[in-house]
Amino acid sequence: MESLIIQGGNRLKGTIPVSGAKNAALPIMAACILCEGETILHNVPDLRDVRQMCVLLNRLGVETERDKSGALHLRAEDEMNCHAEYELVSKMRASICVLGPLLAKRRKAQISMPGGCAIGDRPVRLHIQGLEALGADTDLVNGDFVMKAKKLRGSELFLGGAFGSTVTGTANVLMAAVLAEGRTVIESAACEPEIVDLADFLNKCGARIEGQGTPRIVVEGVASLHGAEHTVIPDRIEAGTFMIAAAVSNGELTLKDCRIDHLVAFVDTLRRVGLNIEKGDKGVNVSSSRRLDPTEITTQPYPGFPTDLQAQTMVLLSLADGNSVITEKIFPDRFLHVAELNRMGTRLRKEGPTVIVEGVKKLVGAPVMASDLRASAALVLAGLLAKGQTRVQRMYHLDRGYEKIEEKLKAVGADVRRVTDSI
CA distance 297 to 314: 10
CA distance 369 to 342: 12
CA distance 304 to 212: 17
CA distance 73 to 41: 6
Bridge partners of 4?
392, 418
| CB contact set of 162 (below 8 Å; sequence gap of 6+) | none
CA distance 169 to 10: 42
One-letter identity of residue 285:
N
* Catalytic machinery residues: 117
- Counted residue by residue, the chain has a size of 423
| CB contact set of 261 (below 8 Å; sequence gap of 6+) | none
CA distance 266 to 308: 11
DSSP string, 136-200: -EEEEETTEEEEE-S--B--EEE-EETTEE-HHHHHHHHHHHTTSBSEEEEET----HHHHHHHH
SS3 at position 270: helix
CA distance 201 to 32: 10
Closest-CA residue to 284 (of 269, 267, 306):
267
158: buried, middle or exposed (CB in 10 Å: 19+, 13-18, 0-12)?
middle
Strands 389-393 and 367-369: parallel
**Residues 18-53: b if buried by 16+ CB within 10 A, e if exposed:** bbbbbbbbbbbbbbbbbbeeebbbebbbebbbbebb
One-letter identity of residue 136:
A
CA distance 312 to 299: 13
Count of alpha carbons within 13 angstroms of residue 265, beta-carbon side: 18
DSSP string, 75-99: EE------EE-HHHHTT-GGGGGGH
